[in-house]
């Protein structure tokens, strides 16, 4: 089941307009959309290694801008859009546990959790709800988002063909590991 989807994404990742689709997904993921941009970034970088840094910068920048939209949702629209997003993804338990710790260690939490594959929208919206200083939010988001995507780019730069072989041979294992990391990241909100 995963093989055809992986092949389909690889074919789309080689299209001329794929970078803009990836930018849209990256923007949306930081504010309201569940699909992470890695789904497109990794195959695009594997398909065209010479454009790895361009793709990574576009992805990180779009994610950064999307984070500002998420912040605005929390800051201006929490009672309408923000509550809807939290209801949609059933994030209330994670939010209440996270909000308490966010008030104490917000900037560090934003950087540390922003590097992981957990939904960045939760961090951005919570920063807006907490009325975090926008300059601090911008600096933390810049560090978090670029670090996250640059880690992927560095791995792909040095181990690209091996990464592709691992993904193709062990697609189910790679998918399972990613799901475990994401679920673990979400559960960690309850314990922070």
Total-model pTM: 0.72
Q: How far from chain centre, in Å, is Cα 32?
A: 11
Q: What percentage of the chain reaches a pLDDT higher than 90?
A: 22
Choice between 107 and 140, residue whose per-residue pLDDT is larger: 140
Q: Sorting pLDDT into bands at 50, 70 and 90, what band is 192? A: very low
pLDDT tier for residue 139 given thresholds of 50, 70 and 90:
very high
Residue with tokens 């810049």, as numbered in its chain: 142
* 40 compared with 143, residue with greater pLDDT: 143
User: Which pLDDT score, from 0 to 100, does residue 191 have?
Assistant: 46
pLDDT at 143: 92
| Euclidean distance between CA atoms 46 and 21, whole angstroms | 17
Residue 157 scores a pLDDT above 50: yes
Span 47-92, pLDDT tens digits: 888 999 999 999 999 999 999 999 999 899 888 877 888 788 787 8
* Mean pLDDT in residue range 167-177: 59
What is the C-alpha to C-alpha distance for residues 164 and 141, in angstroms, rounded to an integer? Answer: 29
Report domain extents, the chain.
2-191
Confidence of residue 187 (pLDDT cuts 50, 70, 90): low
Mean pLDDT throughout 102-124?
A: 78
What separation in angstroms does the CA of 24 have from each of 52, 87, 124, 136, 144? Answer: 17, 23, 17, 25, 19
- DSSP per residue, the chain: -HHHHHHHHHHHHTSTTHHHHHHHHHHHHTTT--S-THHHHHHHHHH-GGGHHHHHHHHHHHHHHHHHHHHHHHHHHIIIIIHHHHHHTT-HHHHHHHHHHHHHHHHHHHHHHHTSSS-HHHHHHHHHHTT--HHHHHHHHHHHHHHHHHHHHHHHHHHHHHHHHHHHHSHHHHHHHHHHHHHHHHHHHHH-
**In the structure encoding, which two tokens stand for residue 58, read together?**
């576009």
The answer for residues whose C-beta is within 8 angstroms of residue 149's C-beta and 6 or more apart is 37, 41, 56, 59, 60, 63
Higher pLDDT, 98 or 32: 32
* Mean confidence (pLDDT) of the chain: 79
Q: What is the pLDDT of residue 126?
A: 84
């Amino acid at each position: 089941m995963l093989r055809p989807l992986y092949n389909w994404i690889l074919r789309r990742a080689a299209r001329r307009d794929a970078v803009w689709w990836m930018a849209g997904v990256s923007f949306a993921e930081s504010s309201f959309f569940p699909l992470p941009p890695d789904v497109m970034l990794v195959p695009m970088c594997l398909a065209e290694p010479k454009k790895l840094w361009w793709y990574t910068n576009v992805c990180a920048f779009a994610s950064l801008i999307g984070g500002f939209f998420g912040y605005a949702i929390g800051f201006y629209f929490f009672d309408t859009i923000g509550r809807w997003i939290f209801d949609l993804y059933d994030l209330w338990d994670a939010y209440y546990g996270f909000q308490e710790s966010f008030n104490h260690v917000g900037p560090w939490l934003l950087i540390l959790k922003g590097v992981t594959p957990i939904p960045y929208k939760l961090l951005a919206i919570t920063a807006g709800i907490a009325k975090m200083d926008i300059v601090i939010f911008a600096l933390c988001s810049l560090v978090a988002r670029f670090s996250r995507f640059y880690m992927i780019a560095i791995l792909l730069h040095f181990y690209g063909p091996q990464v592709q072989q691992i993904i193709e041979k062990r697609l189910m294992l790679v998918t399972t590991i990613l799901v475990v990391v994401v679920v673990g990241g979400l559960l960690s909100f309850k314990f922070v």
